[in-house]
Amino acid sequence: MPSANVDKNSIGNGLLAPVARATSGERPVRGVPFPASSPLPVPTPAGREVKLSVNDLVIGYLDKNTGHTMVAVDKVKFDIREGEFVTIVGLSGCGKSTFLNAIAGLVKHQHGEIRVSDKVVTGPGTDRAMVFQKASLLPWRRVGRNITYGLELSGMKPEEAREKASYYVNLIRLNGFEHHYPHQLSGGMQQRVNLARALACDPEVLLLDEPFAALDAITRELMQQELLELCEKVGKTVLMVTHQIDEAVLLSDRVIVFSARPAHVLADVSIPIPRPRRAEIKESEEFRGLVNQIWSVIEGNANIGGGI
């Protein structure tokens, strides 16, 4: 693992020259490697720069009832390359949300290392942005000022932030809603504002914590479709947590299966379905095969551990 002061150009395991990166100010050049209109399968991003690297991560927590330190996440190790969409699935309570909170810097880990663009994570930072399951918008701020909230916290003036966020406001089709208060929006719309707030910060890695779990089934399907299109357009590096396997397969380049608590990686499944994808692929043989494959891994683990 290269140390933090190594020049960016020398990393990426030396396989290929790193992809040209957007310098601050320019709008997402990062989207270029994935032209949305391209009918070609997306090339596996094996040669790309490692965006998020998790190495032997151990997260413990104090069980207040017993007073013992319990292990929630046990020696998890994987890398995510630039532009990859990776999803973690696992049984509820397996520690996947704890894991994502640790990546966000909200939960301390006891052992191991998290690096984003080769910088060691020690707390929350602007290189990551989290979309929580609950929209958690500031109810007294209009949509516009909610979207720029993250930028304002990083010290940007509201007008400047609005300018910077406008790209994503258009992309997520929230224009015209800037002057609404959150309570005037549906759950799906609120969640889009939540997503826009995270994207406006232009993070290196976007973290999604069961982003659609609180939505009704129809809205969820629509939002999955929208997120799919959005990610194919902007080519963000995404790490998502969900317990819906079909959602994971639809959206991801890779699905990582966590075991029951303490969580470790059971399987790391590539999803070779070509992009751009549409929801119809859920009907395909290949899609169902992948879902079944992932399901059998989870089921096998649950049976061994008696986890259900």
Contacting positions for another protein (CB under 8 A): 104-106, 123-126, 129-130, 132, 134, 136, 138-142, 149-150, 152-154, 173, 180-186, 189, 201
Residue 230: CB minimum distance to another protein, A: 15
Query: In whole angstroms, how close is the CB of 183 to another protein at the nearest point?
Result: 5
CA distance 36 to 212: 23
d(CA 308, CA 92): 10
Return the residue matching tokens 């719309």: 189
Minimum gap (Å) between residue 140 Cβ and another protein = 4
What's the burial of 299, exposed, middle or buried (CB within 10 Å: 0-12/13-18/19+)?
Answer: middle
- Least distance from another protein to the Cβ atom of residue 95, Å: 18
CA distance 178 to 145: 8
Nearer to another protein, 186 or 292 (CB): 186
Is the Cβ of residue 171 or residue 266 nearer to another protein in the bound state? 171
Distance CA 249, CA 257 (A): 12
CB of 172 to another protein, least distance (A): 11
Closer of 45 and 150 to another protein (Cβ): 150
For another protein, the closer of residues 40 and 218 by Cβ is 218
* 137/142 Cα distance (integer angstroms): 9
Closest CA to 102 of 122, 82, 83: 122
Nearest to 112, CA basis, from 50, 49, 59, 52:
59
Nearer to another protein, 237 or 259 (CB): 237
